[in-house]
Structure 1
Amino acid sequence: MAFSLFQDLKLGILGGGQLGRMLIQSSFDFNIDIAIMDPDDQAPCSRIASRFKVGSLKDYTDVYEFGKGCDVITVEIENVNTEALRQLELEGKKVYPQPAVIELIQDKRIQKQFYKDHNIPTSPFILTEDRNEVMRHADFLPAVHKLGREGYDGRGVQMLRQVEDISKAFDKPGVLEKLIDFQTEISVIVARNPQGQVRTFPAVELVYHPEANLVEYLFAPAKISPEVADKAEKIAIDVITKLDMIGLLAVEMFVTKEGEVLVNEVAPRPHNSGHQTIEANHTSQYEQHLRSIMGAPLGDTAALKPSAMVNLLGEEGYEGLAKYEGMEESMAVDGAHIHLYGKSYTKPFRKMGHVTIVDEDLDRLKEKADFIKNTLKIKA
């Protein structure tokens, strides 16, 4: 699949959210013809995609019929019908990430077992079938209980610190993970193309919202030693290589106080922890994903400047047509770039946009990130 043939290939993306929207924006530079399918006719991609189809991402027929009209198929969300993708792959379509990889990542239980079976460092865990089984492992607490399937954007995760918390455990198949006393949480985004070329982005440091379990903001580069950064990069490469995956993979990891690096979860697509690469790196994660799945050489991932990213989440207590407060003040911040996702309706903790800030001075960078976080509010 030659780089010069980009404009002759039809790329189909399953999912029309903000990740798909930013993929489309990046694709304009290469004249890539993109089709989108999403169940919501008002999805962020609906206004900018050259071809937009309303359909269920979980329905075999919808996914199969959509994929038949594409040369290359990718995803911006993992919760898709992989049976249809497998059939399309058998019929000669390029499906990246591969259906087998998507299936593995769709189930956190299988994902964790994969790490264990392939000697990839991760936290100790127990596979559970229901809440009663969690109770039988009360001596394993404190722990985090995660739904095996369909947890997304902070949903499907419960913190169990003591026996009394077990009532909050899921009464469905899940994984009980030992609570790690980590020093920081980082993410390394890695890409691999069909020719086997692999490149990583520098590690970023993640700060989570205490209630929503979503990334609230991040800083790049992460405040970790060169030794830990090198270890994290090698683990990310090891994961994507052992998965034999084509595309972009975000590898979220814990760094313990002893300097150990443990894989938490992965996402086989552009990720919240890579938004800042649009302004802060030679190649954005979106361009890198397009390069990898279209069979092109991978781009330079080096950072141009230190950066921060602030997620713009719907304010708690507000639901309705979005109203943005503090926009003018935030736009006046030097080095700040606001990205809105085209969502007209807000609700608590809904991802409505993000802001990237670049600055050579790390202290000033943090001050600017805090200012925007406390100034730019999405209400109704």
Structure 2
Amino acid sequence: MKKIGVLGGGQLGMMLQESVGNLPVELHFLDPDPNCSCSSISERFTRGDFKDFQSVVDFGSTMDIVTVEIEHVNVAALRALKEAGVSVYPQAQILEMIQDKGLQKEFYANSGFPTAPFELLKSHEDIDPLKWRVPFVLKSRKGGYDGKGVQIVRREGDPIVIEGPVVLEQMADLEVELSVIVARNSLGEVSVFPVVEMEFDPVANLVSALVSPADIRAEIAEKAQEMAKLIIDELGLVGLLAVEFFLNKDGSIWVNEIAPRPHNSGHQTIEGNRTSQYEQHLRAISGMKLGDTSPEGVAVMVNLLGEKGHEGPRKILSKDLVDQVPNAYIHDYRKEITRPGRKMGHITVVDEDRAEALSIALKLQSQVRYVSESMD
């Protein structure tokens, strides 16, 4: 039985715990929030700051393996744990690169992976208006997460709210956004999930719905999957990697961003694939054989966000409607407090008919609501 320490106790950690099944692993969680998702489902929860060096070292020193469910952790502590003999996956140097979107972009460019033309600037005030015409995209180099730290500048004179060092990118002539989840174990075995197409909420800048497998040409899907495998091999990463792509209207594919952990674009794998992304991650970092990623049908996942105008102790409305629909599944993230746009849960629908699955999922998304208990 391997003891795995997980930095972060949010919904991704919760679903990691739920995926353990008969795997010979025991998960422990570190999170500063005593009411995080994992605190209510695991007896092996430790309250502590995953950004604090000593807290991470103390937590991780008793583990066989340390992994993450969030990127923004103390990398120096992970290096210290590695030197002390603890296996750390994803590796510290990869996390350090992921934490800086500028280093990510340089990695793509230097490794020959197609990505949006970009420039690294100390501040948005350094933008050359003769070189960069609107629309373009600004991303904070550090600290961005779940749509935060990204701004699309559509018109001349639009106020720019992002401060500090930024990545300036050409805006894609977008057909659709895609994602590929790929895994690699310590033996170098690589396994890839079907390509997913994503729809984004333009206000929250979060995935609102996704469909797997994506409705794209076979050669495009194969190209995206192959590129994901090349990226994880180039990194030498052990664990799971989510690779987000832009499919442009001219048929070209650009790498957008990568995340070295279970990802929102892989939630549907719990019911929609023979092996979920969560089990696959545990298999990869534990040195086990990777699982079968074959789809069980068309899987549609929709996020459930906190209702606009509601903040406080949460209440779920119409959750029972999901139980009345065959092949529909709801995952509640057990967050005690709701607020507008906060990820509170998700629904997955699996069906052989793509249109039917999408219709059911979107209908349920409109009916199931997270509101505050003070709702009139």
With normalisation by structure 1, the TM-score equals: 0.96
Q: Deviations over 1:281-301 (max 9, x none)?
A: 010000000000000010011
Mark the runs of 5 or more structure 1 residues left unpaired by the alignment. 1-6
Residue 123 (1) aligns with residue 120 (2): no
Aligned to 2:120, what secondary structure does the other structure show?
strand
**Structure 2 counterpart of 1:362, from 339, 354, 361:** 354
Alpha-carbon distance in structure 2 between the residues aligned to 1:163 and 1:111? 28
CA shift in 2, pair 1:137/1:170, >3 Å:
farther
2:163 is the counterpart of 1:186: no
Q: Which residue is equivalent to 1:171?
A: 163
Distance 2:12 2:163 in 1: 31
Q: Shift of the alpha carbon at 1:29?
A: 2.5
Secondary structure, in 3 states, of the residue corresponding to 2:340?
A: coil
Q: Name the CA distance, whole Å, in 1 between partners of 2:130 and 2:290.
A: 46
2:249 paired residue among 257, 280, 288: 257
Q: Does 1:47 align with 2:31?
A: no
2:310: which partner in 1? 318
What does residue 240 of structure 2 align with?
Answer: 248
Asked if 1:77 is matched to 2:70, the reply is: yes
Answer yes or no: is 1:270 the counterpart of 2:262.
yes
Q: Spell out the pairing of 1:101-112 with structure 2 (5 A cutoff).
A: 101-112=94-105
List gaps (5 residues or longer) in structure 2. Answer: none
Note if contact 2:119-2:169 (Cα within 8 Å) is conserved in structure 1: yes
Runs of at least 4 residues of structure 1 off by over 3 A? 135-138
Find the aligned partners of 1:316 and 1:372 in 2 and give their Cα distance.
17
Match of 1:29 in 2: 22
Q: Alpha carbon RMSD of aligned pairs, Å?
A: 1.1
**Per-residue deviation at 1:329?**
2.2
Identity %: 47
Which of the numbers 330, 334, 338 marks the counterpart of 2:326?
334
Count residues with an aligned counterpart: 372
For residue 66 of structure 2, give the secondary structure of its aligned residue in structure 1: strand
Describe the shift of the 1:116–1:283 C-alpha distance in structure 2 as closer, same or farther (beyond 3 A). Answer: same
Q: Is the 8 A contact 1:318 1:346 kept in 2?
A: yes
Query: Which segment is superposed worse, 346-355 or 136-145?
Result: 136-145
Q: Counterpart of 1:157?
A: 150
SS at match of 1:12: strand
- C-alpha distance in 1 between matches for 2:354 and 2:305: 24
Query: What SS does the corresponding residue of 1:322 show, helix, strand or coil?
Result: strand
Between Structure 1 and Structure 2, which shows a larger proportion of helix residues?
1
Distance 1:360 1:280 in 2: 11
Identify the match of residue 305 of structure 1 among 293, 297, 306.
297
Aligned residue for 2:234, secondary structure, equals: helix
Distance in 2, matches of 1:96 and 1:297, equals 16
CA distance in 1, matches of 2:41, 2:324: 27
Once the 2 structures are TM-superposed, how far is the Cα of residue 138 of structure 1 from its aligned partner? 6.2
Change beyond 3 A, Cα 1:299–1:168: same
- Counterpart in the other structure of 2:54: 61
2 CA distance for matches of 1:137 and 1:318? 44
Q: Distance in 2 between matches of 1:276 and 1:142?
A: 33
- The Cα offsets for residues 220-244 of structure 1, whole Å up to 9 and x where unpaired, read as 1111100000000011011111111
User: 1:145 Cα deviation (Å)?
Assistant: 0.2
CA offsets, 1:101-147, max 9 Å, x none? 00000000000010000001111001011121125566343111000
- For the Cα contact (< 8 Å) 1:134–1:169, is it kept in 2? no
What is the aligned partner in structure 2 of residue 224 from structure 1? 216
Is the Cα contact below 8 Å between 1:249 and 1:267 reproduced in 2? Answer: yes
Which whole-Å CA distance do the structure 2 matches of 1:112 and 1:124 have between them? 9
Aligned counterparts of 2:20 and 2:223: Cα–Cα separation in 1: 32
CA contact (8 A) 2:124 2:166 kept: no
CA distance in 1, matches of 2:50, 2:104: 21
Q: How does 1:337-348 map to 2 (within 5 A)?
A: 337-348=329-340
Report the Cα distance in structure 2 between the residues aligned to 1:101 and 1:362, rounded to whole angstroms.
36
Conserved? CA contact 2:116–2:169, under 8 Å = yes
Corresponding letter in the other structure for 2:33: D
- Tell me the residue number matched to 1:4: none
CA shift at 1:82, angstroms? 0.4
Report the 3-state secondary structure (helix = DSSP H, G, I; strand = E; otherwise coil) of the residue aligned with 2:21: helix
Q: Deviations over 1:164-193 (max 9, x none)?
A: 12x314220010111001100010000000
| 1:283-302 alignment, distance < 5 Å | 283-302=275-294
Q: Distance in 2 between matches of 1:103 and 1:137?
A: 33
Name the CA distance, whole Å, in 2 between partners of 1:323 and 1:169: 33
- Matched AA of 2:340: P
Secondary structure of 2:137's counterpart equals strand
Q: State the shift of 1:214 in Å.
A: 0.3
**What is residue 8 of structure 2 aligned with on the other side?**
15
Residue identity in the other structure for 1:231: K
Taking structure 2 as the reference length, the TM-score comes to 0.97
